[in-house]
Amino acid sequence: MELLIGHSPDPDDAFMFYALKKGLVKAPFTVREFLIDIETLNKLAIHGRIDVTAVSTHAMAYIGGKYYILRVGASMGLKYGPVVVGNTAKPELVAVPGTYTTATLLVRLAMPNVKTVEIPFDKIMDAVRAGVVDAGVLIHEGQITYERYGLRKIIDLGEWWYEETKLPTPLGLDVVKASLGIDMAKAVKEALLESIKYAMSHREEALAYAMEFSRGLNMGDTDRFVRMYVNDYTMDMGVDGEKSIKVLLEMGHERGLLPEPQLLFI
């Protein structure tokens, strides 16, 4: 059976999926890989058009019940996450990287009085520097490079989240379409776990592949970024990881920002 598997063209996702893509781990399915930005993947999942994919945790409010959340493959940070940068301590207009991204939900929770405008994630830093917006939320590698471009941190949304909840920041998840059945979902989960284990034990090999998606980062920065989001929570999100997902979505629902979530974990 062939599965359409989507992830974003970023170093951490590439690192996790490397062995699976290259056929270095056994799986009872073949992989048709689809690489595109996370917001597009969110929308594809909302419309049920992809079998297995990385999604933003925020998007689970709209696809819960239709996709299983895998307890492996999550991108979570403890006391760190997307960074809001800008030139003023009290911004009014903040650029966000997409309606269904977790970064956008976190901004609306942490900074409820600001106005937001959607800008592609890789254009946000330029928009802030040009003064098009007062501030912007940086995801992906921008979290570790913004200071080099003279930008100032206003708030680390992962730090804010930890102060609020004492939980990791649940940014991204891997999900499997429920209509494929629980057995196939479990098979994907096991294959992805083996792929992550392979990358961990063959780090230089997997990092060399991840460098192809690093958008100008050197090897040291790529390794640093991968370590931020391929960690113990990626191997097994555990009780705290699962709780963080539920708390984030429940908080968003309570504040009228999203529908009541229905979550299926495996």
Closest CA to 154 of 78, 88, 80, 77: 88
Per-residue pLDDT of the chain in tens (266 residues, 90 and over written 9) = 999 999 999 999 999 999 999 999 999 999 999 999 999 999 999 999 999 999 999 999 999 899 999 999 999 999 999 999 998 989 999 999 999 999 999 999 999 999 999 999 999 999 999 999 999 999 988 888 898 888 999 999 999 999 999 999 999 999 999 999 999 999 999 999 999 999 999 999 999 999 999 888 899 999 999 999 999 999 999 999 999 999 999 999 999 999 999 999 99
Looking at the fold, whether 248 and 175 belong to one and the same domain comes out as yes
Looking at the fold, whether 35 and 147 belong to one and the same domain comes out as no
Q: Is 30 annotated as a binding residue?
A: no
* CA–CA separation, 112 and 175 (whole Å): 29
Domain edge (last residue) among 165, 188, 222: 165
Looking at the fold, whether 174 and 161 belong to one and the same domain comes out as no
Domain edge (last residue) among 145, 165, 185: 165
Q: Is 103 annotated as a binding residue?
A: yes
Q: Which among 7, 140, 202, 253 is annotated as catalytic?
A: 140
Cβ burial, residue 73 (10 Å; 0-12/13-18/19+)? buried
The reported pTM is 0.96
* CA–CA separation, 48 and 168 (whole Å): 28
Residue 158: give the domain boundaries: 83-165
Residue 40: per-residue pLDDT:
97
Residue 153, domain CATH: 3.40.190.10
Looking at the fold, whether 175 and 65 belong to one and the same domain comes out as yes
Domains contained in the chain, number: 2
140 catalytic? Reply is yes
Looking at the fold, whether 65 and 175 belong to one and the same domain comes out as yes
Domain edge (last residue) among 148, 165, 182: 165
Residue 34: per-residue pLDDT:
97
Looking at the fold, whether 62 and 110 belong to one and the same domain comes out as no
* CA–CA separation, 2 and 156 (whole Å): 40
Backbone angles phi, psi at 178, to 5 degrees: -65, -30
264 is a domain residue: no
Looking at the fold, whether 186 and 54 belong to one and the same domain comes out as yes
Residue 142: per-residue pLDDT:
82
Looking at the fold, whether 123 and 17 belong to one and the same domain comes out as no
Looking at the fold, whether 88 and 53 belong to one and the same domain comes out as no
Tell me how long the chain is.
266
